[in-house]
Chain A
Amino acid sequence: MRQTRNGGYGGVPRWIYVLAAAGGLFVVLPLAAMVAKVNWTQFIPLVTSEASLQALGLSLRTSAASTVLCIVLGVPLALVLARGSFPGQRFLRSLVLLPLVLPPVVGGIALLYTFGRQGLLGRTLEVAGLQIAFSTTAVVLAQTFVALPFLVVSLEGALRTAGNRYEAVAATLGAGPTTVLRRVTLPLVLPGLASGAVLSFARSLGEFGATLTFAGSLQGVTRTLPLEIYLQRETDADAAVALSLVLVAVAVAVVALAYRSPRAAERAPSGNGERTTPARAPGGAAR
C-alpha cells in the first residue's frame, strides 16, 4: 500500500507518475529552452527599449480595463446562468463559452463585423462620433471577447458549489434580492470571482489573434506585448525572446496569484462540543 504524506491511502499507480512527469516536462521544457536562448547581457536594454516599455504598459492597461469589463458583464451573466431558470439557458451558456473554442482570429473577424466601420454597430457608433477601429478601445474589446468566458465559467462554478442555502436564509431574515447579492452571494463566491478575474486578466494579457485582426498594430496605441513580440521576431530574435520571458514572468505571477491557497479562512467547525477559545498572543506580538 502506497501511503501519502498524511498516512492516508494514495491510490495512484506508480506508472502514472512516469506519464505525469512526461506531461510536466512537456510544459516546462519549451519554457526552459526559451530561457536558455535569452541573451542575458542584452536583456535589460532589450526589455527597457521604448517600444518594449510602451507595449508592456499598453498590455497591462488594456488587460486591466478588459478585466473590469469582464467583471461588469460577466458577473451578471454567471448569476443568471447559475441561479436563473429560463428557456434557452443551456443554449446561452454554450454561446457565452464559444470564444473559448473559437480561434482568436475568428473572434477578431466577428468583432470587425460588429464594431468595425462597416459593422453592425460600428456605423451607428461612428455617427455618434465614436471610432473604435485602430483605437485602444478596440484592443480592450478584443481582449474582453476572449477573456469573458474564463470569468463566467469560474464564477458560475463557484456559485453552483456555494449553493443557494445561505441566500435563502438571508431572504427569510428580511434581506431583499439586491442586499442578498451584495452582502451574501458575492462575498461567498469572492475567491471564485477573484480567480476568474485573474484568469481573465491573464487571457487578456496573452491576447493576440483577435487584436491583430480587429485592432491593428501601432506602437503605444494598439501594439500590445504579444504583437510587439511577433513583430520583433521578424528582425531581432533576441528582443522577441527577452520580451517573451517578460510575458512568461507576468503570466506565472498572475497564475500563482490565482491559485494561492485560500484555505486559511475555511477551516471546518469541529462540531464536537464547545471548543475552547483559541489562545491569542498578547498584543499579537508572539505571532
Chain B
Amino acid sequence: MTFSVQAAVAGRGFDVSLALGPAETVAVMGANGAGKSTLLNVIAGLLQPDSGTAELDGRTLFDLTEGRGEWTAPHRRGTALLAQEPLLFPHLSVLENVAFGPRSAGVSKQAARESALKWLGEVEATELQSRRPAELSGGQAQRVAVARALAADPGLLLLDEPMAALDIHAAPLLRRLLKRVLAGRRAIIITHDVLDALMLADRVVIFENGRISEEGPTRDVLQRPRSRFAAGLAGLNFVAGHITEHGLQAGALNLFGHHDAAAPLPTGQPGVAVFPPSAVSVFLTEAHGSPRNSFAVTITDLEPHGDGIRVRAGVGGQLSADITPAASVDLGLAPGMQVYFVIKAGAVAIYPS
C-alpha cells in the first residue's frame, strides 16, 4: 500500500518522481518557484501534467504515459489539500465546514456531524463549532481547516505551507497539533521552516528548479547537506567541487578538511565541503599554519545575526562568517573590503555529493 507519483510539466521545467510509504510524512523544501506547489496540484488533480503516472493504494490517480489517458477527477482521489490560507467556506459554520468532506462522501447528516465533532475535538476546537469562519482568528481557522481535511479521511494529506500565514504565536500551536495528527498518517508537507521538517517529517525532499536535488531522512540531510539549498537550511557554508587527497578542490580554492568514511574518499569525484559560519575567523592579512584554510574574499554584506555579526563574502555572498560585534569594529569591516577567511581543517566536513 503505497503512493507514487512521476510527473513532468514541460512549461514549468517540472520533472519529479516521488514515492511514500503507508505512514510516511515527507517534507518538501525548496526556493520559491522550485515546483513545490506544482507537485501538490498535480497530485490533487488541480493541474494536469504533460506526462507521468500516479498511484495511491492501488488506485490510479492518473496515467498519461504514451497511449494512455487515465485521469481521476480531484474529488475521487482522496487527496485532501490544506493550503497556506484556511479557505474555510465563509457561508458555512465551523461544524458544517468540517462535516463537508463526510457529507460529500454520502455519509448521513447525523454521522457526518458526529465525525466532524470528533475531528474538531482532535484539533481542540469543539467550542468553535457554531461560529462562522469570519469570527475566527487565523490560528483557529487553520486548526479547523486541519480538522476539515482530516474528516475527509484522505489517503494522502497534502499540506501547502500550512503555517506560513500564521503569526508567531499561532504557528507553534499548530505545529504541535500537526505533529500529533500526522503521526501514522501519510502526508506531504511543503514548508520553508527547517523546524517543520525536523518535527513533522520522516524524510525531506529538496526541490531545485523543478527537480529533486536531494532527499533523505531529515536529520541526515541537515547534517550532511548535498545541495546548496539544504546547506542553507542547516545554516552551513557549502562549497561544491572535486575531492582531493587532503580535501576539496573548487576552482582556485583548495580546502583542507576531514571525512568520517571508513575508507579514504575517491579522489577526483564530485564532492562537497561543509562548515559552520561560527568556525570561520576573519583576518585582515593572510594567516599561515597548517592545518588551516585561509583564502581572500571580498565582503558583500554585514548583517546582525543573533548576538553577533554575520559577514557575507564571496560570489553572491555565498560564504558566511559569524564574528562578535567587537571584532567587527576592531577590524573596521565594511562591504567591499578584501579580508581573509580562515577555517580550521577540523571544522570542514568533506563528503561525496
Once A and B bind, how many residue pairs between them come within 8 Å at the CB atom? 107
B81 touches which of A169, A175, A275, A278 (Cβ 8 Å): A169
A-B contact pairs, 17 of them (CB 8 A): A165-B87, A169-B83, A169-B87, A170-B89, A171-B46, A171-B75, A172-B81, A174-B76, A174-B80, A174-B105, A176-B104, A184-B89, A268-B134, A269-B135, A269-B138, A269-B141, A271-B137
The reply to whether B136 and A269 contact each other, CB–CB distance below 8 Å, is yes
Q: Which residues of B29-85 are within 8 A (CB) of A?
A: 44-46, 73-81, 83
Bits for A8-47, please: 1 = Cβ < 8 Å to B, else 0: 0000000000000000000000000000000000000000
Looking across the interface, which residue of chain B has its beta carbon closest to that of A267?
Answer: B134
Q: How far is the CA of A196 from the CA of B316 in the complex (A)?
A: 55
Specify which chain A residues have a CB less than 8 angstroms from the CB of B127 in the assembled complex. 277
Bits for B80-121, please: 1 = Cβ < 8 Å to A, else 0: 110100010111100000001100110000000000000000
Q: A127 in the interface, Cβ–Cβ < 8 Å?
A: no
Q: How far is the CA of A204 from the CA of B4 in the complex (A)?
A: 57
The reply to whether A172 and B136 contact each other, CB–CB distance below 8 Å, is no
The reply to whether B89 and A179 contact each other, CB–CB distance below 8 Å, is no
The reply to whether A274 and B137 contact each other, CB–CB distance below 8 Å, is yes
The reply to whether A173 and B80 contact each other, CB–CB distance below 8 Å, is yes
Q: Which residues of A129-173 are within 8 A (CB) of B?
A: 165-166, 168-173
Q: How far is the CA of A270 from the CA of B77 in the complex (A)?
A: 34
Residue ranges of A at the interface with B (Cβ–Cβ < 8 Å): 165-166, 168-177, 179-180, 183-184, 187-188, 190, 265-275, 277-278
Q: How far is the CA of A266 from the CA of B134 in the complex (A)?
A: 7
Min CB gap A34→B, angstroms: 42
Q: B169 in the interface, Cβ–Cβ < 8 Å?
A: yes
Q: Which 7 A-B pairs have the closest CB atoms?
A: A271-B138, A175-B104, A171-B74, A172-B81, A173-B101, A187-B91, A174-B104
The reply to whether A273 and B81 contact each other, CB–CB distance below 8 Å, is no
Range, interface on chain B: 35 or more
The reply to whether A269 and B134 contact each other, CB–CB distance below 8 Å, is yes
Looking across the interface, which residue of chain A has its beta carbon closest to that of B157?
Answer: A172
The reply to whether B87 and A172 contact each other, CB–CB distance below 8 Å, is no
Q: Which of A171, A187, A267 has the most CB of B within 10 A?
A: A171
Q: How far is the CA of A101 from the CA of B163 in the complex (A)?
A: 50
Specify which chain B residues have a CB less than 8 angstroms from the CB of A268 in the assembled complex. 134
B137 touches which of A169, A267, A269 (Cβ 8 Å): A269
Q: How far is the CA of A210 from the CA of B75 in the complex (A)?
A: 46
Min CB gap B47→A, angstroms: 10
Q: How far is the CA of A268 from the CA of B136 in the complex (A)?
A: 9
Specify which chain A residues have a CB less than 8 angstroms from the CB of B6 in the assembled complex. none
Q: How far is the CA of A270 from the CA of B89 in the complex (A)?
A: 17
The reply to whether A174 and B81 contact each other, CB–CB distance below 8 Å, is no
Beyond the given pairs A174-B101, A176-B73, 4 more chain A to chain B contacts, judged by CB atoms under 8 angstroms and listed by A's residue number, are A168-B44, A266-B134, A274-B139, A278-B135
* A274/B170 contact (C-beta < 8 A), A174-B101, A188-B90, A269-B133 known: yes
Q: How far is the CA of A272 from the CA of B168 in the complex (A)?
A: 10
Q: B146 in the interface, Cβ–Cβ < 8 Å?
A: no
A183 touches which of B100, B135, B149 (Cβ 8 Å): B100
Looking across the interface, which residue of chain A has its beta carbon closest to that of B140?
Answer: A274
A275 touches which of B80, B89, B137, B167 (Cβ 8 Å): B137
Min CB gap B141→A, angstroms: 6
Min CB gap B22→A, angstroms: 20
A273 touches which of B78, B133, B134, B167 (Cβ 8 Å): B167
Q: B158 in the interface, Cβ–Cβ < 8 Å?
A: yes
Q: How far is the CA of A165 from the CA of B81 in the complex (A)?
A: 11
B148 touches which of A173, A179, A275 (Cβ 8 Å): A173
The reply to whether A168 and B136 contact each other, CB–CB distance below 8 Å, is no
Q: B211 in the interface, Cβ–Cβ < 8 Å?
A: no
Q: How far is the CA of A40 from the CA of B45 in the complex (A)?
A: 67
Q: B258 in the interface, Cβ–Cβ < 8 Å?
A: no
